[in-house]
Amino acid sequence: MGPPGAGKGTQAVRLRERIGVVHLSAGDMLREAVKRGTPLGLAARGMMERGELIPDDLVAQMVEERLRDPECAAGFLLDGYPRNLAQARRLSEFLEKSGRRLDRVLALRLPETELLSRLTGRRLCGTCGAGYHVANKPPRRIGICDVCGNELMQRADDREEIVRERLRVYTTQTLPLLEFYRESGLLFEVDATGTPDEVFGRIAEALEEVPR
């Protein structure tokens, strides 16, 4: 868990490599659905561009279908789901019925000023998918991809007005999840400031405390 720009995707990939389970990114699954023009993607496209949350039932159906996949039987890492209490309760019911449970909920924390800087500065190559940041990882030529030489773009949901709306939605709808998982004894809050290595070190410490 964590607000947009806290580094969930970056850390999830590293964590997947460390513990060897399937990484399920709700955001990636939605963006792929939009790209392929599936019914879910078509329904979600406008809401994503406005920074709104996708209806719970649509996202839950997508995640639950993926969790039924045999490759998730040995374990899974959820990234960007659940995002509100309704999704969390539905996930708990789904896992209980399938004889599974969550081991740990990691919540990344970062000041809003840094979140804004991280998100609004991101740039992406629409051709090869290479990622950059205007301050932290700039291309050699402004606006041009180092890998393939094509023009870089800013994701629609990384514009400042959309980022502020995404943060507002997170504060009002997702933050209550912290208390929900705190009460269940699953929550571990992680300081997401610093380098990716420093943040991952804190995450590794949190996982060492998970009962086996």
* Catalytic site positions: 8, 83, 122, 155, 166
Residue with tokens 């979140």: 115
Evaluated on CA atoms 193, 76, 15, 185, the torsion sign reads: positive
| SS3 at position 1 | coil
DSSP tally for the chain: helices H, then strands E: 9, 7
CA atoms within 13 A on the CB side of 168: 9
- CB distance 71 to 22 below 8 Å: yes
